[in-house]
């Protein structure tokens, strides 16, 4: 069925298309354009009967605003990122804006197209995916956008763009201190991160830079406690549940297995929890387990998962506040908001077995 137009509304209401346009755009309200209330009502009734909706693109051209903000997430499968989207949408809705959501996979060409399309269709952009920055094409577009002062906010550190920063360095130190106080001396790390890409589009090995805020304090805390950083206790893998499962099997089958595991995200920890069960190990009696991100399912696992939280709903809301302020004032200095992560003790950790 053909989408109704202003011509259809005008024909049904018995008025000109100009009159319909005045009513649709609110110019008949308050006497700005001399249209009688009876005429306005006829137009509104015709709009309701036909189910007419104004063309958002045309309205954006007239007003200079789409009332839409774009958000690029790195992964559609991890609930951690959906918590961010939830916070972004909450804050946008309160401000009368709409959310345009997309993900950028590890292909830089795809990331470039996503980046271009969202910029074209929105008043500003929130970036959570670091992968699109690996594309030279995206870097060129970004330079052009910043030159014309297009509003952009990055979730994560950036030297020139407004950003919301939250990392796990302090929370990891707290987690390690907690495990060491429980007499754990062999602590494994499931280092689940994303692959990278080279400028030619070929997939490179896993990009370990993505979790350095957990790897470095893990290593430092062991060294400060006089313990070795054993390479066999660090498994680098992708960041999925299955990867967590396979990595944990490898660690827990060592002749001198770890008594505690840190998993770089909660999905990896879920896989590790299953691996421990399949090997007949009890959590936390035989193995303590810690994840990161505090995804909603953590409180419903058996046992409930000890983890750390960046409060990604709040991160999303703060990113929107920065972006809307940038939309209002393109010349304000670069802004940086930092949110501290929290270490959360639940049931999956306990004293080292002896």
Q: How is domain 169-309 classified at the CATH fold level? A: Rossmann fold (3.40.50)
Q: Which CATH superfamily is domain 6-54 in?
A: lambda repressor-like DNA-binding domains (1.10.260.40)
The single residue listed with the structure tokens 């249209």 is 35
Asked whether 278 and 244 are in contact (CB, 8 A), the reply is no
Annotate 182-215 with three-state secondary structure.
CCCCCEEEEEECCEEECCCCCEEEECHHHHHHHH
Predicted confidence at residue 55, as pLDDT, reads 61
Residue 329 CB partners (closer than 8 Å, separation 6+): none
Q: Give domain 66-166+312-338's CATH architecture.
A: 3-Layer(aba) Sandwich (3.40)
- Beta bridge partners, 190, equal 235, 263
Tokens of 275: 């691996």
pTM of the model: 0.80
Q: Where are the domains positioned within the chain?
A: 6-54, 66-166+312-338, 169-309
What does the pLDDT profile of the chain (354 residues) look like in tens digits? Answer: 567 888 888 899 999 888 888 887 776 665 567 788 889 899 889 888 888 876 655 555 454 567 899 998 887 888 999 999 999 999 999 999 999 988 876 566 666 777 777 888 889 999 986 656 666 777 777 788 888 788 999 998 888 899 999 999 999 999 999 999 999 999 999 999 876 555 455 554 566 667 899 999 999 999 999 999 999 999 999 989 999 999 999 999 999 999 999 999 999 999 999 999 999 999 999 999 999 999 999 999 999 999 999 999 999 999 999 999 999 998 899 999 999 999 999 999 999 997
Per-residue DSSP letter, 255: T
Q: Do domains 6-54 and 66-166+312-338 have the same CATH topology?
A: no
């Amino acid at each position: 069925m053909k989408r109704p137009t202003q011509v259809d509304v005008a024909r049904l209401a018995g008025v000109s298309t100009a009159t319909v346009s005045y009513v649709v755009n609110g110019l008949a309200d308050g006497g700005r354009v001399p249209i009688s209330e009876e005429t306005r009502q006829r137009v509104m009734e015709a709009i309701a009967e036909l189910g007419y909706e104004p063309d958002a693109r045309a309205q954006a051209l007239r007003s200079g605003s789409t009332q839409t903000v774009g958000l690029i997430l790195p992964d559609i499968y991890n609930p951690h990122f959906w918590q961010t989207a939830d916070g972004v949408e909450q804050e946008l809705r309160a401000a009368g804006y709409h959310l345009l959501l997309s993900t950028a996979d590890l292909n830089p060409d795809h990331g470039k197209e996503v980046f271009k399309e969202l910029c074209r269709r929105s008043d500003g952009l929130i970036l959570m995916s670091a992968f699109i920055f690996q594309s030279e094409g995206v870097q060129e577009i970004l330079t052009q956008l910043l030159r014309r002062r297009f509003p952009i906010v990055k979730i994560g550190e950036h030297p020139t763009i407004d950003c919301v920063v939250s990392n796990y360095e302090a929370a990891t130190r707290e987690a390690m201190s907690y495990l060491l106080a429980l007499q754990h001396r062999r602590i494994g790390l499931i280092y689940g991160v994303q692959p990278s890409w080279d400028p030619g589009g070929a997939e490179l090995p896993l990009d370990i830079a993505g979790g350095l805020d957990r790897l470095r304090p893990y290593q430092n805390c062991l060294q400060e406690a006089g313990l070795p950083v054993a390479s066999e206790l660090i498994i680098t893998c992708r960041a999925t549940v299955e990867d967590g499962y396979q990595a944990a099997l490898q660690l827990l089958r060592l002749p001198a297995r770890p008594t505690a595991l840190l998993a770089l995200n909660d999905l990896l920890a879920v896989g590790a929890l299953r691996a421990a069960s399949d090997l007949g190990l009890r959590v936390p009696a035989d193995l303590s387990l810690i994840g990161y991100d505090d995804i909603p399912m953590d409180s419903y696992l058996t046992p409930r998962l000890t983890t750390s939280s960046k409060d990604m709903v709040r991160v999303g809301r703060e990113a929107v506040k920065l972006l809307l302020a940038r939309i209002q004032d393109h010349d304000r200095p670069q802004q940086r908001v930092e949110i501290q992560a929290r270490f959360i003790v639940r049931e999956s950790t306990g004293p080292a077995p002896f």
